[in-house]
Amino acid sequence: MANDTALKSLIKCKVCGAGHDGSPDGIDMATHPTAKKLLDRSLEFLRQVQNLRVTPGKDLESRLNREYGPGNAYFDDFCTLLKAGLDEGWVASGEIDGPHYRRGKISHPVKESLYMSLTAVYFDSQEAFAGQYHKHPYGEINCVIPIDDTFELEGLPVGVNWQGAGWTSLGPGTHHYPRSRGGRGIAFFFLPSGRIAYDAKPDDPQPPFK
Ligand SMILES: [Fe+2]
């Protein structure tokens, strides 16, 4: 069964060279300064999100797209730092299905991330590409970072919510194929307590969309 550790091969990290195993256990912040900057900015961002008093879901997605989209300092920093990390080799360094679909954990849910995990997935697809089916028991917050301007990631409901530069947020208990289209991009996502499950089935009932 596919699971979070089913990464086939790792891309060598230019920062720490041989022996890097940033995925699936996270990045060593002491030796990867760009990752440390990302963790620090993520903590500031998550503190603000906590003050919005909304849990992952449709309302949070709308609010993030209104207030934290392109031009917002957090969003722009996430784009810069994730793209730098991709070049450095510690972002999405584990191949799930060849070089066009890769994932890597950046941080486990720790105090410095308000107990949210930080993960990045890299997609390179022109036609709609579906990744591993999964469920978010506590929801997810997903920053969509296009590398090609045409890149989009799908939120929910399926088929009607394609998101370019900006955010998707799926509520607790939702499940889906992560789908991308339009070229290269990164999904940088936060999971409360790091929770994700790979045993959900497309026919399982979804919680009400909200
Ligand atoms: Fe997801």
C-alpha 171 to ligand 1 mean position (Å)? 10
- Taking alpha carbons only, the member of 91, 99, 81, 73 closest to residue 26 is 91
C-alpha 56 to ligand 1 mean position (Å)? 11
Q: In whole angstroms, what is the distance from residue 142 CA to residue 160 CA?
A: 17
Q: In whole angstroms, what is the distance from residue 105 CA to residue 21 CA?
A: 10
Q: Which domain holds residue 92?
A: 33-192
Residue 87 resides in a domain: yes
CATH number of the CATH domain containing 42:
2.60.120.10
Structure tokens belonging to residue 210: 């909200």
Residue 159 resides in a domain: yes
Give the model's confidence band at 166: pLDDT under 50 very low, under 70 low, under 90 confident, else very high: very high
Cis peptide before 24 (omega within 30 of 0): yes
Residue 197 resides in a domain: no
C-alpha 197 to ligand 1 mean position (Å)? 10
In the chain, the number of structural domains is 1
One-letter amino acid at 81 equals L
Percent of the chain at pLDDT above 70?
A: 91
pLDDT digits (tens, 9 = 90+) for 74-117: 999 999 999 999 999 999 988 888 889 999 999 999 998 999 99
Residue 7 resides in a domain: no
Contact 76/143 with Cβ under 8 angstroms? no
C-alpha 165 to ligand 1 mean position (Å)? 17
C-alpha 18 to ligand 1 mean position (Å)? 31
Q: Which residue has the tokens 């045409």?
A: 150
Residue 101 resides in a domain: yes
Residue 209 resides in a domain: no
Mean pLDDT score of the chain: 91
Percent of the chain at pLDDT above 90?
A: 78
Residue 124 resides in a domain: yes
Residue 183 resides in a domain: yes
C-alpha 105 to ligand 1 mean position (Å)? 14
C-alpha 204 to ligand 1 mean position (Å)? 15
C-alpha 130 to ligand 1 mean position (Å)? 11
